Amino acid sequence: MSTAITKKATIKRAWHLVDLKDKVLGREATKIAQLLIGKAKTYFTPSLDCGDYVVVTNAALVKFTGAKLTGKIYRHHTGHPGGFKEFTLSEMLVKDPRRVITLSVAGMLPKNKLRATRLKRLKVFAGSEHSYSKIKELNHAS
């Protein structure tokens, strides 16, 4: 008996629709990350990108537990002198709720060369309308 080796030609990508309305961000972000990685597939290989496409809707209506709206702080530096920026979660939700979802899922993906290509397959929309309605096979993942 020999081990079957997954090849790029055998990878099949499905589309999943995830509605975040009244759902807790962390729990849903882990499910989304698992779909992007493709861990549930029988032919999963850590060195290959076996994941699926994920369309996320209602990003603005996601729920948070505890005091994260005021306590969670996003920080980054622009690279210029005095360019240190800080935003609370509530400020980020007002500015761009899609970025909150993307950063949450990105933090749950492995930090390797496949991370950027996996994130390209994540499509996040603030409302319930999305531009992928012509896709024949949308599976609900939750």
Is residue 72 one of the residues assigned to a domain? no
Please name the amino acid found at residue 19.
D
Mean pLDDT of 68-90: 96
Given a contact cutoff of 8 angstroms between Cβ atoms, the answer to whether 79 and 65 are in contact is no
In a domain, 92, yes or no: no
How many structural domains comprise the chain? 1
42: containing domain:
12-64+97-140
Say if 118 falls within a structural domain: yes
At residue 9, the 3 state secondary structure works out as helix
**Residue 77 belongs to a domain:** no
Return phi, psi of residue 122, to 5°.
-95, 120
Least confident range of 13-27, 57-71, 103-117, 127-141: 127-141
This prediction's pTM: 0.89
Residue 87: half-sphere exposure toward Cβ, Cα within 13 Å: 15
Is the pLDDT at 16 greater than 90, yes or no? yes
Q: Decide if pLDDT at 137 tops 60.
A: no
Of residues 94 and 140, more confidence is placed in: 94
Residue-level pLDDT at 4: 81
Residue 91 lies in a domain: no
Does residue 71 fall inside a structural domain?
no
Say which CATH number the domain at 123 has. Answer: 3.90.1180.10
Residue 112 predicted with pLDDT over 80: yes
